[in-house]
Amino acid sequence: MRHVLSALVQNVPGVLAHISGMLASRGYNIESLAVGETESPELSRMTFVIQGDDAVLEQVRKQLEKIVTVVRVVDISSQDFVERDLMLLKVAAPDGEKRHAVKQLIEIFRGKIVDVGPRELMVEISGQEQKINAFIDLIRPLGISELARTGRIALVRSGSKVDDEDEAPASN
């Protein structure tokens, strides 16, 4: 099963090394790990995507919570949450027919062209993991030269579920 864990950690040196070391030494497989600042300068948020049964998830969560600098861990996949992944990608797009096809795909996926070169475009695209993956699958035959992803970040929704049109292409 796929789980998304969200951890608030103290923003001090060595926390990422500590956490990734713990996960590696205990043999847990992490699909994605994203780290960034939060609304508070004292805290960072780490978002983990983990494959495993409930027993594995329970251990990962407890072992994370045991780390002194980890303030709180929530399994947000048990709640209603929004999840995003940001990707930058360079795709071959020479003038003419091919460039047109690329631009059409970008438009369908609500991506943005952030840099234009003579033979390549750089695309920014964000959304759920499945959407990003679908985009990659479709654009790969056209020739990806470089790709970078942030890893998944996620937050629990405040109220009832809002209709998020951005999720539409991938979550159907």
Q: Which residue has the tokens 């159907």?
A: 172
Q: What is the smallest separation between the CB atom of 138 and other proteins, expressed in angstroms?
A: 42
Q: How many CB atoms lie within 10 A of CB 46?
A: 22
- DSSP 8-state secondary structure symbol assigned to residue 161: P
List C-alpha distances in Å: 26 to 2, 17, 29, 63, 142: 19, 14, 9, 9, 40
- Smallest distance from other proteins to CB 167, Å: 32
At closest approach, how far in Å is the CB of 83 from other proteins?
24
Contact yes or no for 135/125 (Cβ under 8 A):
yes
As measured in angstroms, the least distance from the Cβ of 62 to other proteins is: 4
Q: Report how far residue 96's alpha carbon sits from residue 99's, in angstroms, rounded to the nearest whole number.
A: 6
The Cα 163–Cα 161 span in angstroms is 7
Q: Closer to other proteins at the Cβ: 21 or 36? A: 21
Residues 17-36 interacting with other proteins (rule: CB under 8 A): 17-18, 21-22, 25
Interface with other proteins: number of residues (CB under 8 A): 23
Binding mask 49-88 for other proteins (x = CB under 8 A): ------x--xx--xx-xxxxxxxx----------------
Residue 167, classed as helix, strand or coil, is helix
The contact set with other proteins (CB under 8 A) reads 9-10, 13-14, 17-18, 21-22, 25, 42, 55, 58-59, 62-63, 65-72
